[in-house]
A and B are shown apart, each in its own frame.
Chain A
Amino acid sequence: MKRQQVYWDEVAVGDELPEISLDINVKRLFLQASGAQDWYPVHFDPAFARKAGHEDVFMNTGFVQAALVRLITDWMGDAGFLKRLAFEMRRQYRPGDTMVCRGKVTAKKEADGAALVFLDVWAENDREGIATPGEATIILPRTPAGGG
């Protein structure tokens, strides 16, 4: 099945990526342990997490990164290439939260033959707003000759 492709020529500064939303609940903690293979108890054992000074268990870096990667790769299409992703784990996602990932185009340029698009990407929750600010650089294909 061919998926929709985004082309560099058609992208404009200010364009927003379709958001994604994930409920953080007990099932998601199990999925996180399975999908990230991260067995550090701070991510699934509330007593261990509280002893370390945290309010509760919280989602790990692998999970947050996977969500941001999904946000970007869903939007950029099969021919896009994620060149760089950087993000800060400033706040936490805990059971009961809804994590929402969003992004927007901040710049575009051509360099060394590559058609680059720069994004602000972030994840947020209702308790604390933006908990994970980030930025990404992607390479997109140019519009095929004869129209996109």
Chain B
Amino acid sequence: MAYDIEEVRRKYIGFETAKTRGRYPVEHDPIRRHCHMVEDNNPLFIDPEHEGGALCPPSGWLAHYFASLGPWPAVFEPLFPVVPTPGKRIVNMSQEVEWSAHIKVGDHLSVVRRIADVFQKGITIDPEAVWIVAEAIITNQRDEEVCVVRNTLLIHRTPEEVAAANANP
């Protein structure tokens, strides 16, 4: 059956998940590892004794990590609600994060995910690539919004999948 982008748009734009709570509170060690990958030695983030410290770096990625269940043990909790797409390969094309408050070690975050837009726009390797704009509204244990993370995701087929589809239209 042909992929119907208009039907997908009608069904999924505006779709919102129930609020889910992160597996663990915000912890020092994931912050330390996150800082290590980019050689970030900011004592605000990695030194618990630093005045005003024990902050989580203002990374939407890290906020989303703490608000989620994490990759292991595996639990079915997709980054965004499963929108039907011709392909399964994902590339994050852009991200925007708006912050309302600091996140601190000990906070316990939750997230509501929302599909803001879905559209089809071909790329060089896949003329039927689908783009999804997904929002994550992240709150703390006092139900205060700390940030909104907005990702634009490109979902495409592999060249082999495109060739196979063209051979068997």
The stretch of A7-15, A60-68, A103-111, A114-122 in contact with B is: A60-68
CB pair B97 A85 closer than 8 Å: yes
Classify the secondary structure of A's interface with B: mixed
Query: Distance (Å) between the CB of B159 and the closest chain A CB?
Result: 5
CB pair A66 B61 closer than 8 Å: yes
For the complex, count residues of B whose C-beta is within 8 A of A: 42
A81-B44 in contact given A63-B37, A65-B61, A73-B58 (Cβ < 8 Å): no
A61-B95 in contact given A22-B38, A31-B37, A66-B61 (Cβ < 8 Å): yes
A89–B42 CA distance with the chains assembled, in angstroms:
25
| B19 located at the interface, meaning its Cβ lies under 8 Å from any Cβ of chain A in the complex | no
- Residue among B30, B42, B51 with the most chain A CB within 10 A? B42
A82-B99 in contact given A1-B43, A53-B158, A89-B93 (Cβ < 8 Å): yes
Point out the residues of chain B lying under 8 angstroms from A66, CB to CB: 34-35, 37-38, 40, 57, 59, 61-62
CB pair B42 A74 closer than 8 Å: yes
| B70 located at the interface, meaning its Cβ lies under 8 Å from any Cβ of chain A in the complex | yes
For the complex, count residues of A whose C-beta is within 8 A of B: 41
| B94 located at the interface, meaning its Cβ lies under 8 Å from any Cβ of chain A in the complex | yes
A63–B62 CA distance with the chains assembled, in angstroms:
10
A31–B62 CA distance with the chains assembled, in angstroms:
15
A9–B70 CA distance with the chains assembled, in angstroms:
42
A37–B98 CA distance with the chains assembled, in angstroms:
22
Query: Distance (Å) between the CB of A102 and the closest chain B CB?
Result: 15
Contact for A37 among B71, B93, B156, CB less than 8 A: B71
Point out the residues of chain A lying under 8 angstroms from B52, CB to CB: 78
Point out the residues of chain A lying under 8 angstroms from B51, CB to CB: 2, 78
Interface residues of A in 47-65 (CB under 8 A from B): 51-53, 60-63, 65
| B33 located at the interface, meaning its Cβ lies under 8 Å from any Cβ of chain A in the complex | yes
Q: Which residues of A contact B (CB under 8 A)?
A: 1-3, 20, 22, 28, 31-32, 34-40, 42, 51-53, 60-63, 65-67, 69-70, 73-74, 78, 81-90
Q: Can you list 26 contacts pairing A with B, beta carbon distance less than 8 Å?
A: A22-B38, A28-B37, A31-B37, A32-B37, A34-B37, A36-B65, A37-B30, A37-B71, A42-B89, A51-B158, A60-B92, A61-B151, A62-B61, A62-B62, A63-B37, A63-B38, A65-B60, A66-B40, A69-B40, A73-B40, A78-B51, A84-B96, A84-B97, A85-B60, A85-B96, A90-B93
Q: Which residues of B contact A (CB under 8 A)?
A: 30, 33-40, 42-44, 50-52, 57-62, 65, 70-71, 89-99, 102, 125, 151, 156, 158-160
